[in-house]
Amino acid sequence: MTKLAKIESWITLGCFFAGAGLGLLWPALFAQIGFIGDVYVDLLKLMALPIVLCTVFNAASRGARSASRTLLKALVLFVLLFAVSFALSAIPFSILSPGTGFTLSEGEPWSGTVADLSVGGFFRTVFSANVFASLGSGAMLPCILFAFVMGIAAEKVKAARVIALIGELESVFARMLSFVLHLTPLGVFVLMGRCTSGFGADALKKALSYVLCAWGGCLLVLLLVMILPLWLILRVDPFTYFRKTGRALLTALSTCSSAATLPETLRTCREEFGVSEHVTGVVAPLGCTVHMCGGAVSFALLGLFVMQMTGRPVTIGLFLLMLLFAEVLNSAAPGIPGGGIVLGATFLSLLGVPDAGLFLGMYAGIYRLLDMSYTTLNVAGDVTAALLINRWEQQA
């Protein structure tokens, strides 16, 4: 990390706390300047997709066979980390039973609809009929698959000029991104201020136990699933991990978007940890779309909390069914509009939970606070996966 990057990281950290504190004291300010946060997130997303396309293309074209092996390793590791995160976070949720005795007698019920999880609908979303429409809508997974296959095809037909052009475009986009990243302290300040100014004390009182469980579960998984393996296998101690991933985690925490954080995730893997461009180009973009360990904590807490709230026992069979549904929803997330609230409603409907509208109304009201922890864990999981796969590639 350069000296300027270190200074910017400390400034970003200060802006994070300053924005959170000032949002509580002066909410009217962030009602006026909140658009700055939206512009910052939009700029990150604007740069994320072209960088992802070039990065994936270049990774695939550099070595078609090795890229395919890396992709397979990534998918296996993603499933494993998700399952471990789900099971581990479920332990304290089962012991503490935060949903027992929890009742809601007032509030606005959630009036949205659950997602269509048909096999045909999922594959139609993943394998888009119009890649330009996917680009326009920001659907990242179809674009990633298209760029991956295109990179392999370019290598097979020896399209050297195309490969060189995409390589130069990646450098251009990276420089453009560096301009946007200089705005990170300001963006984080405004986003955190608007977040803390938008929640009243009543909503937090009702859902405090749920929010604390979500953050506690994410912290547990972060320490034991994301950091501990790196400490044991790669000798990356927790202090070094947080120092090198700080900017990426703060960006995820404030934007609540893995896609918006992806450029910072790519930079962290490559510049801070020295992960090869080949591994980073495959693992990080794919990870931000289908690898969501924060989602594992989310589904585990949601399922167990509602089961405890409604007095339904959780058998081993039901628990495994919950894990299966969570894995499916985690994979289907890129094709589901509406984000985590729709996924949560779909998850409860698959479990056959009756009359969850009032609970989902509360859930929707506090989801921003939940999503901050979930997205941060998602990004940490992508970094961990990239580091582990990079080690395996080096040993192969």
**Ranges of each domain in the chain:** 3-62+77-395
Tokens of 150: 């295109």
C-alpha gyration radius of the chain: 21
Contact between residue 60 and residue 220 where contact means Cβ atoms under 8 Å apart? no
How far, CA to CA in Å, does 68 sit from each of 65, 75, 88, 266? Answer: 5, 11, 30, 19
Q: What pLDDT sits at residue 40?
A: 85
**Matching residue, tokens 């990390």:** 1
Compute mean pLDDT per 10 residues along the chain, 396 residues long, and list them. 65 83 84 87 81 82 71 89 96 92 71 66 68 70 83 87 90 84 85 73 67 94 96 94 92 85 89 89 82 91 92 90 87 58 85 76 81 92 94 81
d(CA 327, CA 28): 41
> C-alpha 210: how far from its chain's center?
20
> C-alpha 338: how far from its chain's center?
15
| Max Cα-Cα span within the chain | 66
Alpha helices in the chain (DSSP H): 3-25, 27-62, 64-96, 119-126, 131-137, 140-156, 160-181, 184-197, 201-221, 228-233, 238-255, 258-267, 277-290, 293-310, 316-332, 339-350, 357-395
Q: What pLDDT sits at residue 335?
A: 47
Tokens of 120: 């045909």
- Pick from 85, 74, 78, 83: which is nearest to 294 by CA? 85
d(CA 122, CA 332): 7
Q: Kindly report the backbone phi and psi dihedral angles of residue 183, in degrees, each rounded to the nearest multiple of 5, phi listed first.
A: -85, 0
d(CA 215, CA 288): 20
Residue 175: how many other CB atoms lie within 10 Å: 9
d(CA 71, CA 50): 20
Contact between residue 260 and residue 41 where contact means Cβ atoms under 8 Å apart? yes
Q: Which CATH fold would you assign to the domain 3-62+77-395?
A: Proton glutamate symport protein (1.10.3860)
How far, CA to CA in Å, does 302 sit from each of 88, 147, 199, 369? Answer: 14, 35, 21, 14
11 contact partners, CB below 8 Å, separation of at least 6: 185
153 contact partners, CB below 8 Å, separation of at least 6: none
Contact between residue 19 and residue 188 where contact means Cβ atoms under 8 Å apart? yes
d(CA 36, CA 32): 9
- Pick from 303, 326, 337, 186: which is nearest to 250 by CA? 186
- Pick from 254, 261, 181: which is nearest to 34 by CA? 254
